[in-house]
Amino acid sequence: MAVIDIQRPRTATATVNGARAVSALLAVLALVHVYWATGLTWPASDERGLSLAVLGSAVSFGPQVVLPLAALEGLAALAVFARARRRGGRTARLVTAAVAAGMLLRAAIGLVWIVIGRDGSGAAFPWLNALLYTPLCLVFGWAALRAAR
């Protein structure tokens, strides 16, 4: 007797897993922003060092800045997770598409920073941008784009 394996096609499974990964990344980013809102600056020694490493310029990491980002990332994580579970309808799809657009835009900007460089950013940002931020934005942006389709 033949056994019929009724599973999702590999591409559908990869898309769902990608959406789950994007959702997890957004949830982790939300938690990190909440952590920074407490005044702690890990992995840097102070707020200026954190800002230079993360953004390449000196900006505030105060609660009034990072808590709204945490809320936005948390809501986006929920919407992308809903999309991965085929829930949330049009809203989840639009939010997932917006996440994809944001990540892919950040990746494009990151590529420009790699090519032309950026003054005043200190030593950490160019390396973190080239080896971590931009590649992650490309991969997760592509995964979010696939999930939004």
The predicted structure's pLDDT at residue 148: 96
Distance CA 36, CA 30 (A): 10
pLDDT class of 117 with cuts at 50, 70, 90? confident
Q: What is the pTM of this model?
A: 0.88
**71-75, 86-90, 126-130: segment of lowest average pLDDT:** 126-130
Does residue 119 register a pLDDT over 80? no
108-135: average pLDDT:
84
Q: In b/e form, how buried is each residue of 66-87, taking b as 16+ CB within 10 angstroms? A: beebbeebbebbbbbbbbbeee
Segment 90-105, tens digit of pLDDT: 999 999 999 999 999 9
